[in-house]
Structure 1
Amino acid sequence: MSPSATATATFALAGLLGLASFGGPWVLLPAVVLVGALVAVGWPDLLDLPARRGTTALLVLVTVAAAVATTAAVLTARSRGTEIAGVLGHAPAVAALALLAAFAHQLLRRDGRPRLVESVTAAVAGQAVVVLGSAWIAVPSTYAGATLAPVVLAALVATAAVSATTWPLRVVGPVNLLVGGAAGWLAGVAVVVLGGGGIVSEGRWAVAGIVAGAGAGVLVSAWRALSSRLPAARTVPAALAVAAAPLALAGAGAYLVGRLLL
């Protein structure tokens, strides 16, 4: 896949997450699982790992576990009328169990376990990506509501488009900061103009959009610097993982913006 096709896939997945954020946890759950599954399927190819099927199965399992746990936490907090701030308290437990599962996967390998350290390290990194992605389910529960997700995703899409160009990284990095911040600010202002700002003031939406957009610029630029050096990055499974990974990584950041700035 070409960089433009990868950016298009990022746009499509961002649109899916943005629309699903207005449907509640049960609608967000399959959308988040889809993003995580794309990471899981392409991650072993992207990093040229041994035992690829086992690594993919492990990452899919962690994706589903993290998404289900977050959904259950959000629904439980809503039903009890309790503070929603602790809905990601399960994440460290899921990450710890996933780490144990990564070691168990290596013990079950029957290929002589070549490149053991590389395989474990890559699997744990992939687990971190998909666990962070589960935070999208909690984003609509912040004070900003469901409209926060499209604001963050708009900045991600804009910076992904810049990263799809042939410009060198030394140019893409600064441009992404500017484009991301501008896209986030415009999206935040649009939310207020369209009446979706809720109880959050216009000034806070603007600040949150700029911060989220600048963060998206840093994230996408760093991800391009890492993934563009990998030989398999343009094969279809790996390219889909390249497209989905920034969206998953941005989930926790979007939740923090909603909790701390709005």
Structure 2
Amino acid sequence: MKFWTIGAIGLAALAAIVGASYTSPEALLAVMVLAAAGVGIGWPHFLGIPAKKTLAVLIGLPGVGAAIAATYLPAPGFLDWTPAFMAAGVMAVFVMQLIRGTGQAQRLESTLGSCAGVLLSCLGAGWIACSRFVGVREMVLVAAISAAIALLAGLIRWPDRIVAPLGVVGAGLAGPLAGLVFSDIAVVPAAIVGVVVGAVLMSFRRLVILRGAPLGFAAALGMGLGPVSAVGSLAYFIDKLLIY
């Protein structure tokens, strides 16, 4: 269970995010809470580290908190509390590792990998900020379409030296096309969103290849949702810096 399952999970998450963003803030919040929980549950399984249940809570809860804050904080500070939730999650991971004591198996890998999971979980709040930003949801759609093209490219069982450029270029072209068709977003910002999103997702594909071992469903869940969460904050900051 590897690329197809991860790709299907990522595409389903993108579809849910886009659909919820055009439905209501509460629907998008529910989707991102589930995404944060999925990252929390799946990321320790992908890393293959011990104390999976405890780490699932420590990784998922900060993401849930960041999503709630991004939904209800007044504009323009949608992500003002996100760094605090990241810091709290990272500190909780370190405290947990201290409690485990020295000499425990994979202690360093568990600490570093779990901190990365906390960041991915919290970055999902960017989808909410992107949806709320000046009331324009088109960037959510542009980023999601670019990510979907990159995910589909990642399903191709070719070497990285071919698939990685293909995914980045495909996402970079899909962004401006989606912007022209579905919104009035300028070509250059949409292209930058596509290229950045494609590069991020292709780097996560490389992580799956380097892991080598077969993935269970929980591990695929974490790897499918993690990069999708990260894309939300990337789209929000590019939107904020280059468009408005």
The TM-score, its normalising length taken from structure 2, stands at 0.92
Distance 1:85 1:7, change over 3 A: same
Deviations 1:18-72 (A, max 9, x none): 1111233322111111112221111111111011111111112112111112222
**Are 2:158 and 1:177 aligned?**
no
**Are 2:195 and 1:214 aligned?**
yes
Counterpart position of 1:118: 109
The separation in 2 between residues aligned to 1:53 and 1:63, in whole angstroms, is: 16
Counterpart position of 2:229: 248
Shift of 1:153: 0.5
Residues 62 and 121 of structure 2 are in contact (CA less than 8 Å); yes or no, is this contact kept in structure 1? yes
Residues 63 and 85 of structure 2 are in contact (CA less than 8 Å); yes or no, is this contact kept in structure 1? no
Shift of 1:5: 2.8
Counterpart position of 2:46: 46
Residue 107 of structure 2 aligns with an amino acid whose one-letter code is L
Counterpart position of 2:76: 85
Counterpart position of 1:188: 179
Please identify, of 124-133 and 30-39, the stretch whose mean Cα deviation from structure 2 is larger.
Answer: 30-39
Identical aligned residues as a percent: 29
**Are 2:134 and 1:134 aligned?**
no
Paired residue total:
243
Deviations 1:164-214 (A, max 9, x none): 11111111121112100111111101113xxxxxxxxx3x43222211111
Larger Rg: 1
Counterpart position of 1:62: 62
Residue 17 of structure 1 aligns with an amino acid whose one-letter code is I
Shift of 1:12: 1.0
Aligned to 2:210, what secondary structure does the other structure show?
coil
Deviations 1:115-144 (A, max 9, x none): 222211111110011111111111122247
Counterpart position of 1:237: 218
RMSD: 1.8
The separation in 1 between residues aligned to 2:174 and 2:135, in whole angstroms, is: 18
**Are 2:150 and 1:159 aligned?**
yes
Gaps of 5+ in 2: none
Residue 245 of structure 1 aligns with an amino acid whose one-letter code is G
Distance 1:10 1:188, change over 3 A: same
Distance 1:233 1:148, change over 3 A: farther
The separation in 2 between residues aligned to 1:16 and 1:252, in whole angstroms, is: 17
Counterpart position of 1:196: none
The separation in 1 between residues aligned to 2:154 and 2:165, in whole angstroms, is: 11
Shift of 1:252: 0.9
Residues 4 and 161 of structure 1 are in contact (CA less than 8 Å); yes or no, is this contact kept in structure 2? no
Residues 66 and 79 of structure 2 are in contact (CA less than 8 Å); yes or no, is this contact kept in structure 1? no
The separation in 1 between residues aligned to 2:90 and 2:12, in whole angstroms, is: 31
Gaps of 5+ in 1: 78-83, 193-201
Residues 42 and 239 of structure 1 are in contact (CA less than 8 Å); yes or no, is this contact kept in structure 2? yes
